[in-house]
């Protein structure tokens, strides 16, 4: 399951047609070239290990307008903590200014589990690595400080989750109370590498009979517990300081592909598809407003405003008023909290 040169090349060949159609079609050829050249370094040159810090912070993105805000919030929240922020840029277009703690590395947009495996082995260097989705925003350093204290006191502690997976895989029931997930989790990298663990999705032979497979990081979660390591979740009051927006990248690409005519890309047999499109469009419009307030003129949003406006209009037709009002209230409250954190300094 580990990412090898052979498996990376295989995944690249298998996914390139889809990525050309669904991602790099919008990022453009120069961006794809940057990503492929950087990926070539991983495949054919020495590991790109950085100097160790107290903490590596790792995220991946295809949306510059999202990761710019993520970087800004986490830098503010963990400002005094010695760290290095590493962004695997699957867009090839994120080129920020003025953050000496930030290292942006273009990378071909492999699956999330593959990118995590590659960066854990070849890019990260610190013992503790904080993994965060680019649409999970940090408003306070308290959760990380709490976790660092737990790691110092417990040598068998392998991971602390700040945003556990909302649904427990059948194979994990009775083993853990919550799955750590990969949305926002702090991991002891030395244990991870020593145990030869992988973040990738795992499908055992009998997964269809069980009813589900292991999603990103779930199988490693099971292996850690079975091998005697400790995996815990942060207390609820600390989790509440995070502001999560889910599925932003996936739905941004769907909005791009449909030019806002969202009925072309939703699946009727999946629940809440219009709701997810509506949420994402509302969030992306809010992110643009925050970028304007922060005067981040170097950040060029990927998704045009007219596509987002049309998505809101079309998706709203399939939502009842109660659902629409609930989504409006949820996203606006999150944006207000995010604005307060971003603009407080």
* pLDDT tens sequence across 230-253: 999 999 999 999 999 999 999 999
CA distance 301 to 299: 6
174 pLDDT higher than 90? no
Determine the average pLDDT of the residues in 313-330: 96
Percent of the chain with pLDDT over 70: 96
* Cβ–Cβ < 8 Å for 280, 256: no
pLDDT band of 5, cuts 50, 70, 90: confident
Task: Please choose, from the candidates 222, 191, 181, the residue with its C-alpha nearest in 3D space to the C-alpha of residue 204.
Answer: 222
Distance of CA 91 to the CA centre of its chain: 13
Q: Is 304 helix (H, G, I), strand (E, B) or coil?
A: coil
CB contact at 8 A, 180 and 165: yes
Whole-number CA gyration radius for the chain: 20
pTM of the complete model: 0.94
**Lowest mean pLDDT, pick from 62-71, 76-85, 282-291:** 76-85
User: Per-residue pLDDT for 191 more than 80?
Assistant: yes
Question: 100: pLDDT confidence band, cut at 50, 70 and 90?
Answer: low
Is 64's pLDDT higher than 70? yes
Joined together, the tokens standing for residue 56 give 């590596």
Q: What is the mean pLDDT of the chain?
A: 92
Mean pLDDT on 165-181: 88
Strand order across the 184-188 sheet: 102-106, 84-89, 56-61, 128-132, 184-188, 157-161, 230-233
pLDDT band for 155, please (50, 70, 90 cuts): very high
Which is higher by pLDDT, 174 or 309? 309
Nearest alpha-carbon partner for 131 in 222, 8, 220, 226: 220
Give 178's pLDDT tier (boundaries 50, 70, 90): very high
Q: In this predicted structure, what is the pLDDT of residue 126?
A: 93
DSSP assignment letter at 133:
-
Neighbours of 11 (CB within 10 A): 16
């Amino acid at each position: 399951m580990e990412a090898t040169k052979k498996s990376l090349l295989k995944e690249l060949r298998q996914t390139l047609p889809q990525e050309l159609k669904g991602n790099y079609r919008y990022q453009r050829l120069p961006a794809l070239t940057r990503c492929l050249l950087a990926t070539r370094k991983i495949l054919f040159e020495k590991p790109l290990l950085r100097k160790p810090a107290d903490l590596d912070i790792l995220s991946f993105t295809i949306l510059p307008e999202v990761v710019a805000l993520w970087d800004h919030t986490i830098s503010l929240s963990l400002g005094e903590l010695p760290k290095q922020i590493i962004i695997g840029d699957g867009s090839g277009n994120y080129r920020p200014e003025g953050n000496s703690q930030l290292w942006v590395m273009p990378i071909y947009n492999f699956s999330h589990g593959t990118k995590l495996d590659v960066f854990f082995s070849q890019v990260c260097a610190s013992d503790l690595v904080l993994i965060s989705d680019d649409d999970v925003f940090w408003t306070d350093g308290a959760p990380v400080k709490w976790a660092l204290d737990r790691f110092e006191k417990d040598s068998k502690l392998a991971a602390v989750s700040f945003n556990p997976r909302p649904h427990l895989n059948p194979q994990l029931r009775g083993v853990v109370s919550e799955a750590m997930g990969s949305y926002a989790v702090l991991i002891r990298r030395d244990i991870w590498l020593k145990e030869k663990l992988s973040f990738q999705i795992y499908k055992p032979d009998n997964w269809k009979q069980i009813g589900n497979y292991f999603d990103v990081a779930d199988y490693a979660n099971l292996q850690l517990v079975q091998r005697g390591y400790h995996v815990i979740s942060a207390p609820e009051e600390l989790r509440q300081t995070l502001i999560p927006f889910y599925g932003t990248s996936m739905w941004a690409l769907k909005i791009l592909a449909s030019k806002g005519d969202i009925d072309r890309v939703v699946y009727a047999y999946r629940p809440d598809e219009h709701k997810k499109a509506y949420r994402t469009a509302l969030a992306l419009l809010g992110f643009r407003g925050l970028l304007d307030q922060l005067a981040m003129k170097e950040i060029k949003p990927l998704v045009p405003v007219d596509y987002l406006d049309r998505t809101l209009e079309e998706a709203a037709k399939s939502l009842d008023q109660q659902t629409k009002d609930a989504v409006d209230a949820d996203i606006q409250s999150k944006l207000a909290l995010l604005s307060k954190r971003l603009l407080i300094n």
